Amino acid sequence: MDTKREKAELITGSECLLRCLLHEGVESVFGYPGGNALYIYDAMVDNPEFKHILTRHEQGAIHAADGYARSTGKVGVCIATSGPGATNLITGIATAYMDSVPLVIITGNVSTTVMGTDAFQEADIVSMTLSITKHSYSVRHVQDLPRIVHEAFHIASTGRKGPVLIDIPKDVSNHKLYYQPAAAIRLRGYESNPNLDTDQINILIQAITESERPIIIAGGGVVYSGATNELLEFVIKTNIPVATTLLGLGGFPSAHDLWLGMPGHHGAYAANMAIQHADLIISMGSRFDDRVTMSVDGFAPQAKRIAHIDIDPAEIGKNVKADIACIGDIKAVLNYANTKAIASPSDRWIKEIQEYKRQFPLRYKDSDTELKPQFVIEMIHETTRVEAIITTDVGQHQMWTAQFYKFNHPRSLITSGGLGTMGFGFPAAIGAQIGNPKRLVVSVNGDGGMQMCAQEMAICSIHRIPVKIVVINNQVLGMVKQQQELSYAKRYSQIDLAGSPDFVKLAEAYGIKGLRASNKAEASRVWQEALNTPGPVLVEFVVPKEENVYPMVLAGTALHEMILGDVE
């Protein structure tokens, strides 16, 4: 007699799945049921401690799980059925994959007995998502489920983090097993945290002592590794200025004198010019993507050496040749580096950069008759005292938020970087608020992206999730319009959003308070009302469609070839 089995309880695969998720510490799951996931949803009836949020679209579910993960550092979880339920997750999976976000995605599938017959709502989601998942599982034997769930969470949350898919056929979810939680992890060939090459770090420290014009480019890896304090200590010891990428914002305090702003396509003048004149570039958890480098041939032409610190060896040298390769978790690399670090001879360089910041700060032409979007972001920044979690959708409002909201804390900006997914911002805010119930969460959206997941206002209304929803309404696809204006000789095509709904009435239809402002006085009044109102509130700020995001580096040009706009 198997005494181990005698102690175990005989349960279904669906009940096993829920217990495994609770065992992993999962606090909330976002999802949408369907036929081939119904055994899983049936098991929830007898598990009142299992918290599930019913979104109104599968894409809303995965974006909410993503926002939860980015804002908490924990693994986000979502569930969907087979076929269209699973395929509706693909954009969200790619969004998380591009930005290294830890998710576990659970999909139902048709029974193993009809797989490959084009059964109703059958789709090979594992094959479809191979290039946008860190790992995938197709569960064929219910006995494997505890191990698979345990491994999935481990893979998603270690090394370079990312999404892991678990596809469960309907019959497997109803098969029975003697349940015991999985214990040890044994994954051949999976190296979650490579050993530090201290020789390379020592070479970097030596290069710093020889550099008169060094700069650090801090990316999302600094935030994901929890290395904010280590980076600050490193900067204090080495006296090196820091530019933070879009996903790196908050990884280094914007209030610090050595912070230069965001580099790249819509980067700050000081950040871009510092990169172009630096003799040493140190990238930390930034993958030198094209929105940061722009023309690679014209990137950092005066750099004698480029150092790249990243946990993923595949990123080293992928886009920009690295002379010094420090492979490893950034927190671990900096912990070692801080035992050796000394100041670079950069005093003259610091003065030069401070002059860049003084002469060319981020600015815009304010107006007493129109409500400028930059003013709205500055107002949100001032009234939230830099303590809010800000989520954004994708477009001009995203760049204005990155420019004019000054982030001092990690995991305070939740935005889609690599994939640039419209419709991401609002459901991500829901996930962030559920993960951080005591913090103010503000969701900044354009009028285009807001309409892609507006149905998720139902969740905020039903559960009284107190997200403050901001809609920057310029009645146009602003970022597309700006590119058509500057690169396509003002040949505007398919950008008019004038037929959009009345967002205030739309919010009210969902049972949410709606407010609107079209000038500064109204903006200040309604925004304060929103902050003082318990529960969710939508505030529409009507802004001119002519406003563009500057500075801007056009595609194919180098970072120093910035267009400064109306204030140039």
Catalytic residues: 58, 120-121, 170, 479
Tokens of residue 539, six digits: 């505030």
Q: Considering all CA atoms of the chain, what is the largest pairwise distance in Å, rounded to the nearest integer?
A: 84
Q: In what order do the strands lie in the sheet with 103-109?
A: 52-54, 29-32, 76-80, 103-109, 163-169, 135-138
3-state SS string for 123-135: CCHHHHCHHHCCE
DSSP 8-state assignment for residue 496:
B
- In the beta sheet, which residues pair with residue 244? 218
Element (H, E) at 478: helix 478-487
Nearest-angstrom CA–CA distance, 455 and 55: 9
Element (H, E) at 352: helix 347-359
Residue recorded with tokens 């030069």: 352
> Do residues 455 and 60 make contact, with C-beta atoms less than 8 angstroms apart?
yes
CA 377 vs CA 63, 151, 390: distances in Å: 23, 42, 11
Nearest-angstrom CA–CA distance, 379 and 356: 25
Closest alpha carbon to 242 in 285, 302, 198 = 285
Main-chain dihedrals φ then ψ at residue 472, nearest 5 degrees: -85, 100
> Do residues 88 and 80 make contact, with C-beta atoms less than 8 angstroms apart?
yes
> Do residues 78 and 103 make contact, with C-beta atoms less than 8 angstroms apart?
yes
Residue-by-residue DSSP string for 294-339: SSGGGSSTT-SEEEEEES-GGGTTTSS--SEEEES-HHHHHHHHTT
Nearest-angstrom CA–CA distance, 451 and 59: 13
